[in-house]
Amino acid sequence: MVFLFMNLMQWSWIFLLIYIILMCFIGVYAQKKVKNADDFAIARGSYGPFFLALAYAATTASGATFLGLPALAYQWGTSSLWYIFLYPVGVYIGVIISIRLVSRVGDRFGNRSIPEYLGDRYQSDGIRILVSIMSLILLFYLIGQLVSGLVMFQLMLGLGKTSALVITTLVLLFYVSLGGAHADIISDGIQGGMMVILAIVVILITVLGVGIDNGFVGLMSNLKEQDDLLVHAFNSESTLFSSWWSVIVIIFAHIPLGMLPHLGNKIWALRATSDRVRFIWMAAAFALTLSMMGLGGLLSRVYFGGDLLSGVGNPNQALPLLFIEIFPTWLAALIGVGILSAVMSTADGLVISSSQIIANDLYRKTYVARKKINLSDAKIDNNVLKISRVSTVVILISCAFFAQALINKNVALIVWIGIGGMMAAFSGPLIMGALWRGVTRSGAYAGLISGMGTFVILHAQLLDPSWFEYGSVVQNITRWLIKQGPNPFACTFLGEIISVFTTIFVSKFSKKLPREHLDQLF
């Protein structure tokens, strides 16, 4: 009977402790599977399509999906549904390219990371090093996940920022540093199953309009009464969902996401090449289900009106507060831990991929190779494993400090600081390089630099129309580009276009790679 009188905080602590124990058990179990640095990095050929699809979808869906997407729906209404339904389409176009081309070649060369793959693709240490450095921008993605963890811990457990960060960081540190990619995939597979169930619950309560007179019809009527723009296909007040252009860029901006290190690395864990088609279909279905978590933001807007936009809270809290409002205390606490699992499922993949950039790409492939250090392969492999674990600790602690300062920022937009420039930069050398054998080393360099540069210039709004003649075509184009600055999807897409065309143009006029090498790739 005592359970009937327990409050949200007490229930949350119970479920959190169960979750932490489970993650620690996974870490210890996964450690037994780690025999060498390759096991820690990618768990090559170890998992079947269903479980890996759950893990992959869980990594794709992050704190941005479970907190950021509902926050966007809460703020902008039905226009945000474009993002909810279309971003998985873009991601899995990238996944198809990656699994058909990148993973096949990566297996052939024994690659452990996307930077290593690109270095081998172009026979260039310089490209591998440059891509490695650029890939460390993913740490902003990790910071976004830690912010999500902060929000959940504060709401559900009543903890301060410091305490919340310590718990989140320590849990990740324990199971990731022990089990590496195996711990990442096993935990993500379990968490993915939990998240799919949670997403289905959110879809149902929104479609049924739980707690709203006249159900979903009443929900839409309430939104219209608050602000007519909340029920339109486009919202003129939003830089993200204001026109067909802003919708189209969502798809194209997300294509390289399916090929980024924390996702691309997981594909190498697939046990059999014959399972690839099934894996893609299952992962895409799970990912679409998880993205529909954003629908909960519409229901939350009906329950709380515009309060979360006026300083009472922040839109990132839209979904957790909705759960607290409509569900029994114990269920709200359980669901809250489910959201936390979404945060962890992306954070652990990011930590692994970032640690491999340091241990594999910068130490093994650069430092050891260039210094010609006289060590056995076994000793080098052991050093890589040690550096992987140490860098895991350093990365998590560093990102925790940044997360504390960014708690009030939209999680989805924090994430895009970390991936927008990377996806723009990688479009030419990674996507075109996988599709067309004509991409050269010089073309890859040009694509990387031009794509990243375009994203930074546009998103930071460094252009000034006053530089150009008044009323000229160039000035008008500049004014339009300035308007795209607040929209990270538009900046990424424009950066991708520049990267692809620059890659193609420079490749046409630069030295080709050896034919025998290209025959190995295609």
Size of the chain, expressed as the number of residues it contains: 522
How far apart CA 186 and CA 285 sit, in angstroms, is: 19
Determine the pLDDT at residue 3: 43
Report yes or no: 481 and 407 within 8 Å, Cβ to Cβ.
no
How buried is 310 (Cβ within 10 angstroms: 0-12 exposed, 13-18 middle, 19+ buried)?
A: exposed
How far apart CA 67 and CA 294 sit, in angstroms, is: 8
Candidates 359, 335, 417, 392; CA nearest to 64 is 417
Ordered by start, the domain boundaries in the chain are 2-521
pLDDT at residue 100 is higher than 70: no
Determine the pLDDT at residue 89: 86
The answer, as to whether pTM is greater than 0.85, is: no
pLDDT at residue 4 is higher than 70: no
37 pLDDT tier (thresholds 50, 70, 90): low
Candidates 231, 200, 226, 408; CA nearest to 303 is 226
Report yes or no: 340 and 333 within 8 Å, Cβ to Cβ.
no
Q: For residue 191, what are its two tokens?
A: 């968490």
pLDDT at residue 1 is higher than 50: no
How far apart CA 516 and CA 419 sit, in angstroms, is: 34
Determine the pLDDT at residue 182: 66
Q: Which residue has the higher pLDDT, 409 or 210?
A: 210
Interval 447-489: pLDDT, tens: 999 999 999 898 888 888 888 777 788 888 888 888 888 788 8
CA angle 57, 63, 65 (to 5 degrees): 60
345 pLDDT tier (thresholds 50, 70, 90): low
Interval 251-284: pLDDT, tens: 887 887 776 666 666 676 777 777 778 888 888 8
Interval 230-259: pLDDT, tens: 888 888 888 778 888 878 888 887 887 776
Report yes or no: 84 and 66 within 8 Å, Cβ to Cβ.
no
Q: Where are the beta strands (DSSP E) in 354-422?
A: none
**Mean pLDDT, the chain, whole residue set:** 79
pLDDT at residue 5 is higher than 60: no
Q: Phi and psi for 47 in degrees, rounded to 5? A: -135, 150
Candidates 118, 64, 53, 99; CA nearest to 419 is 64
Task: Return the residue matching tokens 């831990």.
Answer: 337
Determine the pLDDT at residue 65: 74
Q: For residue 297, what are its two tokens?
A: 């933001």
* Topology annotation, domain 2-521: Sodium/glucose cotransporter (1.20.1730)
pLDDT at residue 2 is higher than 70: no
Q: Which residue has the higher pLDDT, 103 or 490?
A: 490
